[in-house]
Amino acid sequence: MGFRRRSVELLFVFWVVLWPFCLGIRSINSRLPVGGGDGFGFSMYGASEFVEAPQYRNGNDCPAIKPYASLCDPSFVHIAMTLDSEYLRGSLAAVYSINHHASCPENIFFHFIAAEFDPASPRLLNQIVRSTFPSLKFKVHIFREDKVINLISSSIREALENPLNFARIYLGEMLDSCIDRVIYLDSDIIVVDDIQELWNTKLTNPAVIGAPEYCHANFTNYFTPAFWSDPVLSRVFKSRKPCYFNTGVMVMDLERWRKGNYKKMIENWMEIQKKLRIYELGSLPPFLLVFAGNVEPIHHRWNQHGLGGDNVRGSCRPIHPGPVSLLHWSGKGKPWARLDSGNPCPIDRVWASFDLFKGKSLVAAPSMGYSSYLKQ
C-alpha cells in the first residue's frame, strides 16, 4: 500500500469517522444519555445496548466502488435520516432492513442528522451506529437547532415540534455539494425491497421531489380556515392541483433544490405560520405549500404510511392493499413502544424482526416469513 492510497484512506477516516467530532466538539458532554419524553424513549442507551447487525455484500451486478472512495463517487446511493436518542432504535432497525434487502448494500452511504444538543450527544450516537454496523459507510452531520428554533410554532402534537423534524429542509446545505440526489427517510420505517429501485426514480424536470401522492385525501384539512379565507395566501395553489404527500419518504433532487432556493421558500411559510397560524401540523404543511401538485408521483408501495395508527393510542391500522416496499409507522403509536408494552399490532412483528435492541421483548429473525403479513 503506497503513500497515496494511505492518504486517501486517512481522508476517508477523517470524513467518516472524525469529521463529526470536529463540528460537534462543543456538544460533547459526559452526561449519561436520557431517553425522550413521551413514553417512546428508553432511559439509557449505550453502544452495548444493541447487537451487531449482519453484514451484507454486493451482488455481482453492482457498480464497483473503489475501496476508500470519496463520498462523491457517483455510484453511491445516498440516504439521509435523523438520528436521535428517542428514535434511535427505529433508525437502527431501518438501516438493517435497508441493507438486508438491498442488491448493492455496500454502495449505500448513510447521512445521519443528529441534533447538536441531543441528550445522547452526536458522538455517542456515532459510536452506536459504528458498533452496530461495523462496515457501514456513513457520516453523522450535526444539525444546529438554532437554524429553526425561532421558526417553529406550536403544533397539535408535541413530537412534531422537535427541531430535527425540520432538518430535511436543510439537506441541500448540510450534504456535500457533490451530492445531487438523496433519499430522505423517517426513522419509523422498515424497507422490505431494494432501495436501488427507489433511488432510480426519474424526476422529470422541473420536479424537485418525488413521493407517493394521495389525491383522494381532502387537501382542505391540512390548512386552517385562516389560510383558505386569505385570498393572497390561498392563491399559492391557484395554478396547481395540489395533492397530499407524506414527507417521510422523499427522493430529492438536491441540485434543483439548491438552485431554486426552496429552503428559503419553506422558511418564509414558517414565518407566516408564526404570525397567522395557517396550519396545525409541524414540518409537513410548509412542504405542501411549496411542492404539492408539483411532485413526481412515486408508486404507493414506497410509503405504506399511517401504521402508527390514527391519533388514538392503541388503534391498529391495516396495511393498504397492493404491493409493499416500505412500511411507515407514522402516527402516534410506534412499534417499539407497542411491542414493549406487550400489546403490539400484528404489523409490528415485521418491525420486530429488524429490532437490534438487546432489551427487546420479542425475538424473531428477518427470515421468519414477515411476507405473510405483507400479503394480507
Cβ-proximal residue to ligand NAG, closest one: 218
Span interacting with ligand NAG, options 29-37, 194-202, 213-221, 315-323, rule CB under 6 A: 213-221
The smaller minimum CB distance to ligand NAG, of residues 117 and 219, is found at: 219
The smaller minimum CB distance to ligand NAG, of residues 227 and 357, is found at: 227
State the minimum distance, in angstroms, from the CB of residue 96 to ligand NAG.
Answer: 40
The smaller minimum CB distance to ligand NAG, of residues 193 and 280, is found at: 280
State the minimum distance, in angstroms, from the CB of residue 224 to ligand NAG.
Answer: 11
Residue 105: cis peptide before it, omega within 30 degrees of 0: no
The smaller minimum CB distance to ligand NAG, of residues 48 and 220, is found at: 220
Q: How far apart are CA 139 and CA 99, in angstroms?
A: 16
E strands in the chain: 77-82, 108-115, 137-143, 181-185, 189-191, 209-211, 213-214, 244-245, 249-253, 296-297, 326-328
Cα–chain center distance at 101? 17
State the minimum distance, in angstroms, from the CB of residue 220 to ligand NAG.
Answer: 4
Contact positions with ligand NAG (CB under 6 A) in 333-352: none
State the minimum distance, in angstroms, from the CB of residue 225 to ligand NAG.
Answer: 9
Q: How far apart are CA 282 and CA 143, in angstroms?
A: 18
**CB of 28 closer than 8 Å to CB of 21:** yes
Contact call for residue 177 and ligand NAG (CB under 6 A): no
The smaller minimum CB distance to ligand NAG, of residues 216 and 238, is found at: 216
Calculate ∠ Cα 186-143-285, nearest 5°. 50
Locate 330 and state its grid cell: 407514522
Query: CB atoms < 10 A from the CB of 69, how many?
Result: 17
Calculate ∠ Cα 107-201-106, nearest 5°. 10
The smaller minimum CB distance to ligand NAG, of residues 60 and 218, is found at: 218
Span interacting with ligand NAG, options 207-215, 217-225, 280-288, 352-360, rule CB under 6 A: 217-225
State the minimum distance, in angstroms, from the CB of residue 248 to ligand NAG.
Answer: 23
The smaller minimum CB distance to ligand NAG, of residues 7 and 221, is found at: 221
The smaller minimum CB distance to ligand NAG, of residues 48 and 218, is found at: 218
Contact call for residue 221 and ligand NAG (CB under 6 A): yes
The smaller minimum CB distance to ligand NAG, of residues 261 and 311, is found at: 311
Q: How far apart are CA 47 and CA 132, in angstroms?
A: 8
Span interacting with ligand NAG, options 216-224, 259-267, 295-303, 318-326, rule CB under 6 A: 216-224
Locate 327 and state its grid cell: 412500511
Contact call for residue 220 and ligand NAG (CB under 6 A): yes
State the minimum distance, in angstroms, from the CB of residue 221 to ligand NAG.
Answer: 5
Contact call for residue 229 and ligand NAG (CB under 6 A): no
Three-state secondary structure of 196-216: HHHHCCCCCCCCCEEECEECC
Q: How far apart are CA 101 and CA 366, in angstroms?
A: 10
Contact call for residue 234 and ligand NAG (CB under 6 A): no
Contact call for residue 218 and ligand NAG (CB under 6 A): yes
Locate 170 and state its grid cell: 436543510
Could you tell me if residue 284 is left (phi over 0), alpha (psi between -120 and 50 degrees) or otherwise beta? alpha
Binding site for ligand NAG (CB under 6 A): 218, 220-221
